[in-house]
Structure formats: C-alpha cells, structure tokens
C-alpha cells in the first residue's frame, strides 16, 4: 500500500519535567523495566537493540540523586517539597528520515552526536541516563516498506543544575563579609535552567533589540530547537529542517497518539475507496451503454452485419481504447483490493485501540475525577505513598545477640 503523502523531515527537541513523586514512571519506561507498556508498539524482543549512551548502572533515578547530594555535587537547598528535580530531553526526527539514510546504524551515529548536544546543555556529570529506543515499530512505514521499520529517538534524563551564590547575611559578625559570596552551590532548578523567556544576542555578543529599541526575548524551548538543528547540521547531518514548537503529538500519551495516527490513516484510505467507487459508477454507466452498441448495424440474411461509416469508426475507436484500458483497469482493481483489505484491517485495529482506551479511562476515572477536584491533595497523597515505599525498600540491619563467654557458654 502506498505510504501517506510524505511530510517534510523535521527535527524535534523538547523537555519534560518530573518531580520525586512521578519520576519512577518515566524511569520504568525509558529503562524498559515494565512488564507491559502503554505504548502498544513496543516489541520486547527488540529491547536489546536499544542503545545507552549513559547507563544509570541499575540504580534508580532517585538513588542517583541521593548519592550526588551526599557527595555535594547537587543541592536541593531552597527548593519546595514538590519542586521539579529531573528534566527529560527528547530528541527526535520522524521515522522515514532514518529509514532513507541507513536505518539502525545511521540512527546510532545520529543519536551519538545528539547525546553530545545534550552534554553541552546539561554537563555530562548531571546526566543520569541517555538511551536511544529502537524497539517501537512504526506501522505505517512497515506497511509501506514491506518490512519492520522502527522509530528511533533519544531520551536524556538529567538534573537541571545551575550555579547559585550563597551570600553572607547582614547578621554576619564580620562586617567585611556581609553581602559577599559565602559559597557556590550546584542547585537543581528547572525554572532557572529553562526560563520562560531568554534574552537574545547577535554574533558580536550584543543584545538584539526590537524595532522600538527594547531587548528582544525568545522562549527558551524555541532557542533549544534552533540549537539542536544547528548542532546536528554543523556535524554533517542533513536532509531535515528545524522543528516546530507546539506539536500536539508531544502532549499525547502513546496510546492516544497511536489512535490519532490510525484514525488519520483510516480516514485517508476511506477517502481513496470512495474516490474509486466514483470510478466504478462511471464504468457502470459505460457498461450500460453496451446495449446501444450491440444494436448498431443491420444483420443481413446470411448473418453478417453492415455498419454505417460513422458507426464503424465509433466501434474502432472504442476497441482501441478498450485494449489500452485493460491494463489500467487491472492495476486499479488490484490497488482497490489492497486498499479495502487495509481499510478493514485498520478499522479492526482502530476499534481495538478505542476499546483499550475506554477501558483505560474507566479504570482511571476515579483518579482523574480526584485530580480535577482535589489536585494538590492527590499529588501529596502519592508523594507520601512513594516516599514510604522507597523508605520501606531500604535494607534494615539485623542486630545479632552476642555469644556468651566463660561458664555461661556451656
């Protein structure tokens, strides 16, 4: 079956935020610790093909945070209890780009360089995990190429660290120290790492200005898109354009996104089938005129038929056209049958996904209702629950009774 009209290949760079209470969800997904996946396209047999450019070494993301805090490498000083502690940077280009440039091996080269871009943004010491997923199959591309085709993308989990100066307070006994820098800490702060707006500068380092002479600001994530595109093209990767901010795909769950894409494909196939039905109707009208052709001419006594010159020319032209059209019709029939088979298969898959989605929504309805009515209480409940679970999982030292000595040992 022909692939839907190929869209322009575009890079994608986005950042998601996670707190202590929900980081385990993305950890289980990225490190493939789940027994089942919400993303229906993950093939467990392909998990060994995933590539870690930075491996957490079997430790949980929270364990790594505690260890780095204990060594003084990062700090949560001054943060609220529910502050963002982890960033997940997702770097991506659509599936067909990799398939047309070398597939799996090319993707490994591309994302090795993309990882170096992430290191520039966060510092390698602040990255917990960086993994290229190669186990999520793309159904549309698989249908088109007639072989399994996988969607390659990179997940980078890091601490959003900034340097923060701690000043001596006005109550310091030494007046000379008051207001000066006491120490510099590596504070975890997503809002400072990714401010909502960032001032821009030209190639000379001078601030860019608007027409009215005011400083020109841009959204940090928009600048990130530019930087990712520039980095990859400067290192020899071409054939794609800068991505766009605000794609709705990045806000959908994997299941919702799959339903959305299958719905689009189903609508496209339906439209094609309807177009071919119009052709069938036209052909049917032509076939109905056969009776008129059969009545052309006059039969003689001995069974032969005499035709007027105009009728003979008409039949001759129709015969030539019919011979030329046979192959076209045969090809059309074959394509229509393929489309109809795909239509019924996709319709069945679409209904199955809708059923799963309804079951998921039914299963989560109480939670969603609670989140809508009491969001802060629900978040606090789960934060406390996860904290208790982590605390209970820590090993407990067992005290042994000392052995008796002397006569009491008998």
Task: For 299-367, give the DSSP string.
Answer: E-TTS-EE--HHHHHHHHHHHHHHHHHHHHHHHHHHHHHHHHHHHHHHHHHHHHHHHHHHHHHHHHHHH
Distance CA 365, CA 376 (A): 17
Long-range contacts of 309-318 (CB under 8 A, 24+ apart): 318/293
Is 362 a member of any domain? yes
Q: What SS3 state is found at 115?
A: helix
My answer on whether 111 and 146 are in the same domain is yes
Q: What DSSP state is assigned to residue 395?
A: -
pLDDT at 247: 44
328 and 215 in a single domain? The answer is no
- Residue 32 has which token pair? 């493939």
Q: In sequence order, what are the residues at sequence separation of 6 or more whose Cβ sits closer than 8 angstroms to the Cβ of residue 364? A: none
What is the number of domains present in the chain? 2
pLDDT given at position 173: 81
Q: What is residue 229's predicted lDDT score, i.e. its pLDDT? A: 93
Whole-number pLDDT of residue 249? 41
Q: How far apart are CA 139 and CA 363, in angstroms?
A: 27
Do residues 191 and 279 share a domain? no
Q: Are residues 221 and 312 both part of a single domain?
A: no
pLDDT of residue 252: 44
* Nearest-5° Cα angle at 74, 113 to 181: 115
Residue 383, pLDDT score? 81
Q: How far apart, in whole angstroms, are the C-alpha atoms of residue 238 and residue 229?
A: 9
Q: Is 251 exposed, middle or buried (0-12, 13-18, 19+ CB in 10 A)?
A: exposed
Are 274 and 223 contained in the same domain? no
**105: Cβ contacts below 8 Å, ≥ 6 apart:** none
Residue 100: its pLDDT value, please? Answer: 92
pLDDT at 348: 74
User: Residue 52 domain-assigned?
Assistant: yes
Q: Check whether residue 284 and residue 181 sit in a common domain.
A: no
Please check whether residues 154 and 48 belong to one and the same domain. Answer: yes
Question: What is the secondary structure of 25-60 as a DSSP string?
Answer: HHHHHHTT--SS-SSTTB-GGGGGG-EEEE--TT--
Q: Which residue has the tokens 């069938």?
A: 280
Whether 361 maps to a domain, the answer reads yes
Q: Are 290 and 314 in contact (CB under 8 A)?
A: no
Phi and psi, residue 93, nearest 5°: -140, 150
The structure's pTM equals 0.59
Averaged over successive runs of 10 residues, the pLDDT of the chain (410 residues) comes to 61 92 93 75 92 95 95 91 93 92 95 97 96 92 89 96 84 82 86 81 80 76 89 93 56 52 68 64 55 60 65 71 72 75 76 79 82 82 79 61 57
Residue 33 belongs to domain with CATH number: 3.30.930.30
Structure tokens, 26: 């993305």
- Kindly state whether residue 379 falls inside one of the protein's structural domains: no
Residue 403 lies in a domain: no
Query: Are both 61 and 155 inside the same structural domain?
Result: yes
In a domain, 405, yes or no: no
HSE-CB of 175 using CA atoms within 13 angstroms: 0
User: Residue 357 belongs to what domain range?
Assistant: 264-299+307-373
Beta bridge partners of 88: 16, 157
Same domain? For 52 and 178 the reply is: yes
In a domain, 391, yes or no: no
- Asked if residue 354 and residue 228 are part of one domain, the reply reads no
Q: Do 189 and 268 share a structural domain?
A: no
Residues 292 and 235 in one domain: no
The Cα–Cα gap between 211 and 4 comes to 43
Cα–Cα distance for residue pair 37/255, rounded to 1 Å = 10
User: In angstroms, rounded to a whole number, what is the distance separating the alpha carbons of residues 89 and 18?
Assistant: 11
Does residue 4 belong to any structural domain of this protein?
Answer: no
Tell me which H or E stretch contains 163: strand 161-167
């Amino acid at each position: 079956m022909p692939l839907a009209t190929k869209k322009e290949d575009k890079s994608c760079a986005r950042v998601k935020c996670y707190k202590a209470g929900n980081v385990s969800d993305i950890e289980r997904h990225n490190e493939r610790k789940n027994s089942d996946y919400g993303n229906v396209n993950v093939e467990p047999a392909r998990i060994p093909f995933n590539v870690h450019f930075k491996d957490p070494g079997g430790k949980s993301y929270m364990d790594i945070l505690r260890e780095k805090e204990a060594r003084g490498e990062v700090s949560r000083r001054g943060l609220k209890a529910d502050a963002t502690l982890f960033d997940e940077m997702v770097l991506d280009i659509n599936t067909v780009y990799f398939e047309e440039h070398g597939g799996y091996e090319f993707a490994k080269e591309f994302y090795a360089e993309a990882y170096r871009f992430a290191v520039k943004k966060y510092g390698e010491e602040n990255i917990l995990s960086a993994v290229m997923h190669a186990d999520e199959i793309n159904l549309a591309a698989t249908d088109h190429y007639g072989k399994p085709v996988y969607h390659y993308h990179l997940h980078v989990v890091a601490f959003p660290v900034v340097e923060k100066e701690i000043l001596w307070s006005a109550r310091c006994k030494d007046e000379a120290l008051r207001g000066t820098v006491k120490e510099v800490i590596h504070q975890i702060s997503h809002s400072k790492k990714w401010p909502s707006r960032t001032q821009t500068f030209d190639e000379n380092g001078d601030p860019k200005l608007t027409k009215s002479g005011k400083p020109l600001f841009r959204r940090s994530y928009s600048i990130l898109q530019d930087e990712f595109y520039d980095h990859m093209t400067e290192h020899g990767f071409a054939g794609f354009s800068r991505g766009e901010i605000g794609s709705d795909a990045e806000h959908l769950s994997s299941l919702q996104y799959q339903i959305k894409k299958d719905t689009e494909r189903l609508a496209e196939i339906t439209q094609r089938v309807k177009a071919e039905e119009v052709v069938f109707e036209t052909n049917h009208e032509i076939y109905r005129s056969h009776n008129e052709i059969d009545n052309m001419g006059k039969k003689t006594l001995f069974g032969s038929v005499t035709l007027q010159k105009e009728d003979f020319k008409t039949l001759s032209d129709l015969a030539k056209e019919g011979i030329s059209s046979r192959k076209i019709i045969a090809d059309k029939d074959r394509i229509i049958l393929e489309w109809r088979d795909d239509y019924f298969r996709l319709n069945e898959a679409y209904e199955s996904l809708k059923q799963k989605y309804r079951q998921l929504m039914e299963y989560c309805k109480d939670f969603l209702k609670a989140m809508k009515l009491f969001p802060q209480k629900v978040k606090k409940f789960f934060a406390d629950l996860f904290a208790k679970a982590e605390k209970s999982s820590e090993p407990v030292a067992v005290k042994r009774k000392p052995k008796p000595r002397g006569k009491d040992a008998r």
